[in-house]
Structure 1
Amino acid sequence: MDLFSHSWTALRTAVAELPDKDFEQPSGCTGWLVRDLVCHLVIDAQDVLITLVTPADTEPTVNAVTYWNVEDRPPTGEDPLDALTVRLAAAYEEPRLLKFHLDDVGSAAGRAAELADPGARVGTRDVVLTVGDYLSAYVLEWTLHHLDLIAYLPDAAEPPVQGLAHSRATLEEIAGAAFPASFTDKDALLVGTGRRAPTEAEKTGLGELAAKLPFVLG
């Protein structure tokens, strides 16, 4: 629960500190500018709020690891929902409006998470899981999108080290294998999810795991 709040606060703070010009820079998400990614974070915050008030009375069907689906191919930015996000982001016109909406809805999502019972069961995406597992899964979401946010912004703040370590551990469980110790947590996440290609030296270190990459999470 604390790690969710820490990661989410760090991501929202990073957005709040961006100068307006950075909203027109590319993000680490294919086909999206930074402004598009921030709009997606607003939608993510809404999803958290909706899920936390959607109780389930059946047994959990997934946990923080199996919540994630591994897709067949990386996103191209041409998916209808991705395209809708771009149009929504453009409608804000001014970065300050996007910042305000993210702070408003994002703060509410953060408060809801702090108040939630980690053992309660909730439903989302046709699955059931505990609140604790749901929030744990979202640490990976926040961390990856924090990396996406700063992909072309070298002066922006990095994700919290605790979130990076947690997210790497989650990705390794999804992959069923550990990344080499020579990989930093950040590099394991970027290479493991296809956000950047491995170097030749990294491919050698990955061994058989290299053939399974990338793990495109959805």
Structure 2
Amino acid sequence: MTSRNPSPRADLVRDACTAFGAVLDGLGDDDSWAATGCTGWSVRDLVHHCAMDGLRGLVALHTPTTARPDRDAATYWTDWGGDPEAAAESRRRARVAASMLPDWDAVRELYRGTAGALVHAAEHRGSGGAVRTDGHVLRVEDLLSTLAVEATVHHLDLIQHLDGSPGPAADGLAEVRRVLTDLWEREPLEHWSDEHFARVGTGRAELSAPERAELGAYADLLPLFS
């Protein structure tokens, strides 16, 4: 039975995963070798990585704890992007792991199966309580935010060289905007779309000279995570 009090952020996870999966539906084997917005990763590598993040979510949702949360939906990301050597090692591990599935359909089905199970678990998990993930303790709502943000940002990476592919879910982009705003401790420029803020806020796009001039010292705080 579905929990009587499911987290409203379960909808974010469902919408983000559904939008990501919709891109995969239109990709053939040749497309799976295309570059992405993640340095060194093909579509195959990125999709495998996202399947593993879905697995992270599944494990976390089934790892409850009574410990006090030490991260929230925004501060969870402060561990990401500050160590170039760790980032490079993570990229290498993802490529090696993805290479163990030589068939594109197998990679795609791994994502679909994992994402489907994650969405089911999120929709059936109550909104209260805390869980463990990545060495930290988060409230369930905050965990679900991290999963939606991860899927949404990587959706932008996925379609960077895939012209005509559908974009991320609107509520996923709005959640990325909320998290980046909390981390930055200021509102983005008024003319920035959610997608543009997601790209510059995570280092996927450079600030223009006028943007940098308008932001002043705040420009030096970007990217907020990567």
Q: TM-score w.r.t. structure 2 length? A: 0.89
Q: Does structure 1 residue 23 correspond to structure 2 residue 32?
A: yes
**Structure 2: gaps spanning 5 or more residues:** 1-9
Instruction: Work out which of the residue numbers 195, 201, 210 in structure 2 matches 1:186.
Output: 195
Question: Matches of residues 36-75 of structure 1 in structure 2 within 5 Å?
Answer: 36-71=45-80, 73=82, 75=84
| Matched-pair contact (CA < 8 Å) for 2:77–2:225 | no
Q: Which runs of 4+ in 1 moved over 3 A?
A: 70-78
- The one-letter code sitting in structure 2 at the alignment partner of 1:149 is L
- The one-letter code sitting in structure 2 at the alignment partner of 1:21 is D
> Using the alignment, how far apart are the partners of 2:69 and 2:59 within structure 1?
18
Number of aligned positions between the proteins: 217
**Structure 1: gaps spanning 5 or more residues:** none
Percent identity, aligned pairs only, is 32
Over aligned residue pairs, what C-alpha RMSD do you find? 1.9
> Using the alignment, how far apart are the partners of 2:84 and 2:46 within structure 1?
14
Counterpart of 2:125 in structure 1 is 116
- The one-letter code sitting in structure 2 at the alignment partner of 1:49 is L
> Using the alignment, how far apart are the partners of 2:12 and 2:99 within structure 1?
32
Query: CA distance change for structure 1 residues 74 and 152 in 2, over 3 Å: closer, same or farther?
Result: farther
| CA-CA distance at 1:49 after TM superposition | 0.8
Question: Matches of residues 79-94 of structure 1 in structure 2 within 5 Å?
Answer: 79-94=88-103
Instruction: Work out which of the residue numbers 149, 160, 165 in structure 2 matches 1:156.
Output: 165
> Using the alignment, how far apart are the partners of 1:131 and 1:154 within structure 2?
35
Secondary structure of 1:128 counterpart: strand
> Using the alignment, how far apart are the partners of 2:25 and 2:83 within structure 1?
28
Counterpart of 1:128 in structure 2 is 137
| CA-CA distance at 1:80 after TM superposition | 2.6
- The one-letter code sitting in structure 2 at the alignment partner of 1:23 is S
> Using the alignment, how far apart are the partners of 1:180 and 1:74 within structure 2?
28
Q: Deviations over 1:19-43 (max 9, x none)?
A: 2222111111111111110010111
Secondary structure of 2:138 counterpart: strand
| Matched-pair contact (CA < 8 Å) for 1:15–1:99 | yes
Q: TM-score w.r.t. structure 1 length? A: 0.92
Q: Deviations over 1:94-139 (max 9, x none)?
A: 2111111111122111111111111121111222121111102222
- The one-letter code sitting in structure 1 at the alignment partner of 2:98 is A
